[in-house]
C-alpha cells in the first residue's frame, strides 16, 4: 500500500521538475487519491492521511464539504492531480493482512477506537516519512554513514562490575544492596510495565540501567531510551553512563542544551554529524532524552517529530522521576506509555522515590 505514496512522481510534470524545470508539482495527493479508490477498509483513511501529508505533516480530516483549496484531507482528495498512471507498470498494490483491523476491533468504546486509530496512523506515518528521509539522503549522499552501534552485553558487564565494586559494610550500604536485589528480582516476570520505587540515594540510576540492559539482552530488544524531566539530570546521567560504558555503548543525548560540536569530544566519541543524524530518528542503541522530546514523538503531527516514533518499538523505555510528568497532560502521557507497550512490543520502567498511583488514569 505505502508504495503508492511515490505514484505522483511518475507524472511528466514531476519528472521535468527533478530534471531542473522551475515548476510547482504537488505529487503527494496522487497516492492518497489512489487509496481512496480502493475497496473500503478500516485502514484506508490511515494511509490517505499518511501519504497526503508525508511532506507537509498529517493534515486535519475536515469534512466532505471542504473545497480543493483547503489543506484538509477531504480538500486534498478533491484536487486535480497530474497524469501519474504509468506507475501501474511498475508498482503492484497488494492488500495487507488485517492485523490493524484486529487491534481496532478490540477497542472497548468509540473514544478508545479513535485514540488507538490515531496512534496507529502516526506510527505508520513515522515508518513512511523516516524511510522517505533516509532514501532521499542516500540518493543525494550515497556514502552517508548514520550507523550507531553498541554492545548491550559488554555494557551490562561494565555496570555489574561497577555496582559490585561498592562497599557493603554499613547498615545503609547493605540496605541499598538489598533494595537493588529486590528490584532485579521483581523484573523476572514477563510484564510490559514495571515500577522501580526506590528512596533517594539508593542507586536508582545504576539499578535501572542494569535492569534495562539485562532485559534488553534477554528479550532481544533493539534499544534503550532513558526519559528524564530535567536537562540538568540528563547531563549528569549521560556523564555517568559515558564514564562506565561509553566506549562500548555510545550515549546519544537528545536535549536542547547539548552541543553537537563541543570541543571536548575524545577519540572514542561519535562524530558530530553521526550524533545529529541519530537524534533525527533515534536509530541508536541508547538514547537519553527529555519528557518533551519523547511525548512529542508520539503526539506531534510534523514529520520531523514523528519520524522517531517507529523506533520506539521493541525497546526498553525508562521514565526517571516519573512523578514529574506534567499533571495537566497526565492522562495522554500514561496512555502513550500503554500504546508503546501494548501495540509495538516495548517495555516501560517507571521510576521514582515517590511513586504516584496512576491506576485511575488507565
SS3 sequence of 317-328:
EEECCHHHCCHH
**272-315 pLDDT, tens digit each:** 677 888 888 999 999 999 999 999 999 999 998 999 999 999 99
**pLDDT confidence of residue 259:** 45
C-alpha cell at 113: 477506537
Closest CA to 49 of 37, 39, 35: 35
Confidence check: pLDDT of 271 > 60:
no
Residue among 194, 195, 124 nearest 344 (CA): 124
Lowest mean pLDDT among 63-72, 136-145, 285-294: 136-145
Give pLDDT tens digits for 82-133: 776 666 666 665 655 667 888 888 899 999 999 999 999 999 999 989 998 9
In angstroms, the CA 295 to CA 53 distance is 20
CB 347 within 8 A of CB 338: no
Look at residue 76 and give its three-state secondary structure. Answer: helix
Number of CB atoms found within 10 A of residue 256's CB: 9
pLDDT of residue 5: 62
CB burial readout 276-291, b (16+ within 10 A) else e: ebbbbbbbbbbbbbbb
pLDDT score for 146: 83
With a cut of 80, say whether residue 9 has pLDDT above it: no
Beta strands in the chain (DSSP E): 193-197, 223-228, 252-254, 286-290, 315-319, 347-352
Model pTM score: 0.87
Query: DSSP state, 83?
Result: -
- Residue 20 CB contacts under 8 Å (≥ 6 apart), including other chains: none
pLDDT tops 60 at residue 143: yes
Q: Which of 21, 8, 4, 6 is nearest to 83 (CA)?
A: 8
Q: Which residue has the cell 558487564?
A: 157
Q: How far apart are CA 260 and CA 273, in angstroms?
A: 8
Please, what is the end-to-end C-alpha distance for the chain in angstroms?
33
Chain centre to alpha carbon of residue 322: 18
In this structure, what C-alpha cell is assigned to residue 286?
Answer: 541508547
Residues near 191 by beta carbon (within 8 Å), at least 6 away in sequence: 347
Cell readout for 181 is: 536485589
Give me the chain's average pLDDT, please. 85
Whether residue 347 is predicted with pLDDT greater than 90 in this model: the reply is yes
Task: Specify the pLDDT at position 229.
Answer: 92
Euclidean distance between CA atoms 170 and 176, whole angstroms: 10
In the sheet that holds 315-319, the strands lie side by side as 193-197, 347-352, 315-319, 223-228, 286-290, 252-254
Angle, in degrees to the nearest 10, between helices 152-164 and 231-245: 90
How far from 25 is each of 13, 14, 73, 198, 349, CA to CA, in Å?
A: 7, 6, 18, 57, 47
Position 60 pLDDT exceeds 50: yes
- Cell readout for 196 is 522501580
Other beta carbons less than 10 A from residue 132's beta carbon: 17
Q: Which residue has the higher pLDDT, 233 or 18?
A: 233
Average pLDDT on 166-192 reads: 86
The DSSP result for 218-268, as a single string, is HHT-SEEEEEES-HHHHHHHHHHHHHHHTTTS--EEESTT--TT-TT--TT
Q: How confident is the model at residue 79 (pLDDT cuts 50, 70, 90)?
A: confident
- pLDDT at position 156: 97
Q: Regarding predicted confidence, which is higher, 219 or 34?
A: 219
- Is the pLDDT at 216 greater than 50? The verdict is yes
Q: On the CB side of 38, how many CA atoms lie within 13 Å of its CA?
A: 18
Amino acid at each position: 500500500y505505502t508504495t503508492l505514496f511515490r505514484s505522483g512522481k511518475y507524472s511528466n510534470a514531476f519528472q521535468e521538475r527533478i530534471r531542473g524545470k522551475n515548476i510547482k508539482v504537488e505529487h503527494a495527493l496522487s497516492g492518497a487519491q489512489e487509496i481512496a479508490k480502493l475497496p473500503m477498509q478500516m485502514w484506508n483513511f490511515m494511509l490517505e492521511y499518511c501519504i497526503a501529508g508525508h511532506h507537509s505533516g498529517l493534515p486535519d480530516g475536515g469534512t466532505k464539504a471542504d473545497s480543493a483549496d483547503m489543506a484538509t484531507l477531504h480538500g486534498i482528495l478533491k484536487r486535480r492531480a497530474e497524469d501519474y498512471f504509468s506507475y501501474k507498470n511498475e508498482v503492484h498494490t497488494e492488500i495487507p493482512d488485517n492485523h490493524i483491523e484486529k487491534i481496532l476491533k478490540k477497542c472497548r468504546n468509540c473514544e478508545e477506537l479513535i485514540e488507538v486509530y490515531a496512534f496507529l496512523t502516526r506510527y505508520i506515518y513515522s515508518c513512511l516519512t523516516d524511510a522517505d528521509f533516509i532514501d532521499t539522503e542516500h540518493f543525494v549522499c550515497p556514502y552517508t554513514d548514520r550507523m550507531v552501534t553498541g554492545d548491550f552485553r559488554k555494557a551490562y558487564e561494565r555496570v555489574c562490575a561497577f555496582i559490585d565494586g561498592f562497599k557493603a559494610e554499613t547498615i545503609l550500604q547493605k540496605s541499598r544492596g538489598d533494595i537493588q536485589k529486590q528490584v532485579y528480582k521483581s523484573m523476572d516476570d514477563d510484564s510490559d510495565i514495571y515500577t522501580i520505587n526506590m528512596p533517594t540515594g539508593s542507586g536508582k540510576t545504576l539499578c535501572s540501567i542494569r535492569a534495562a540492559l539485562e532485559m534488553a539482552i534477554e528479550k532481544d530488544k533493539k534499544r534503550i531510551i532513558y526519559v528524564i524531566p530535567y536537562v540538568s539530570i540528563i547531563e549528569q546521567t549521560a556523564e555517568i553512563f559515558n564514564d562506565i560504558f561509553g566506549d562500548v555503548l555510545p550515549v546519544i543525548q537528545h536535549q536542547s542544551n547539548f552541543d553537537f560540536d563541543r570541543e571536548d569530544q575524545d577519540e572514542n566519541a561519535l562524530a558530530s554529524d553521526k550524533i545529529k543524524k541519530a537524534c533525527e530518528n533515534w536509530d541508536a542503541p541508547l538514547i537519553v532524552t527529555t519528557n518533551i522530546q519523547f511525548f512529542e514523538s508520539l503526539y506531534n503531527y510534523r514529520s520531523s517529530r514523528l519520524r522517531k516514533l517507529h523506533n520506539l518499538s521493541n525497546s526498553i523505555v525508562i521514565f526517571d522521576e516519573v512523578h514529574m510528568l506534567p499533571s495537566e497532560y497526565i492522562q495522554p502521557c500514561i496512555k502513550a506509555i500503554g500504546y508503546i507497550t501494548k501495540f509495538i512490543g516495548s517495555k516501560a520502567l517507571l521510576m521514582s522515590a515517590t511513586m504516584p498511583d496512576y491506576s485511575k488514569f488507565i
